Homo-oligomer: A and B are copies of this chain.
């Protein structure tokens, strides 16, 4: 009826989009709070103001919405990681970029408002690795492969290295989430330093 109409969606589309978002974000919250297995579709719709049946207008099942969430997250993370790999001039720079990106992603994605107001991370309890985790893993593995025979010795055990790097990412990231303030840069610096130099141990002979 006015020019605005041309730019805005119809009311129906607006509602649809709003509902879809409400469901998605409720699901994210609920999954974070109770874990994928323990979370129920009813939990999800109960934390929206929608009716139970409405859920199924948007997602076929709990599985589907979980996939949607995970894919979505991974799709936001992956290009950032890849970009870092492309832009990095050395391995240290790459690692630093990747850790920073991942830690920021964690804050956005998995830290949730606890009842007491604190932001707490509850990583997805799915047994199976989430797409986001897989994305990091694969990206890091690719980066490491690229460096083999260059900065990294040819015979390196790529999988163990990847495991170690992502293990550090996971746990240091978790630790960072519990801290106040959540200092991603410091955490990244620490992680990179461990990976490249190890602990600054003075080996003794006693």
Q: Which of A's residues lie within 8 Å of B, judged by CB?
A: 34-38, 89-92, 122-123, 125-127, 147, 150-153, 156-157, 159-161, 163-164, 166-172, 174-175, 187, 190-191, 193-206
Q: A125-B126, A127-B35, A196-B201 are known contacts. Are A163 and B175 too (CB-CB below 8 A)? A: yes
Q: Let me know if A199 and B152 touch, CB within 8 A.
A: yes
Question: If A125-B37, A201-B91, A201-B196 touch, does A166 touch B160 (CB 8 Å cutoff)?
Answer: no
Contact B195 A198 (CB under 8 A): yes
Q: Which of A34, A156, A163, A175 has the most CB of B within 10 A?
A: A163
Cβ B151 vs Cβ A204 within 8 A? yes
User: What 10 additional pairs, Cβ within 8 angstroms, besides A35-B37, A194-B195?
Assistant: A38-B127, A92-B201, A125-B127, A151-B203, A160-B175, A163-B172, A164-B190, A167-B168, A195-B199, A198-B198
Nearest CB on B from A156, distance (A)? 8
Q: Would you give 9 A-B contacts (Cβ < 8 Å), ordered by A?
A: A34-B127, A38-B127, A90-B203, A125-B127, A153-B200, A156-B199, A157-B190, A160-B187, A194-B198
Number of copies of this chain in the oligomer? 4
Q: Which residue of B lies closest to A38 (CB)?
A: B37
* Set B38, B171, B204: member contacting A90, Cβ < 8 A: B204
CA distance A161 to B36 in the complex (A): 30
The answer for the CA separation of A91 and B206 in the assembled complex, in Å, is 11
Once bound together, how far apart are the Cα atoms of A38 and B126, in whole Å? 10
Q: Is the CB of A191 within 8 A of B206?
A: no
Q: How far is the CA of A171 from the CA of B165 in the complex (A)?
A: 9
What separation, in Å, do the CA atoms of A122 and B157 have in the docked complex?
Answer: 23
Lowest 4 A-B CB distances belong to which pairs? A167-B171, A37-B37, A167-B167, A198-B198
* Complex CA distance for A89 and B89, rounded to whole angstroms: 41
Give the Cβ gap from A54 to chain B, nearest Cβ, in Å: 15
- Minimum distance in angstroms from A184 CB to a CB of chain B: 13
Chain B residues within an 8 Å CB radius of A126? 125
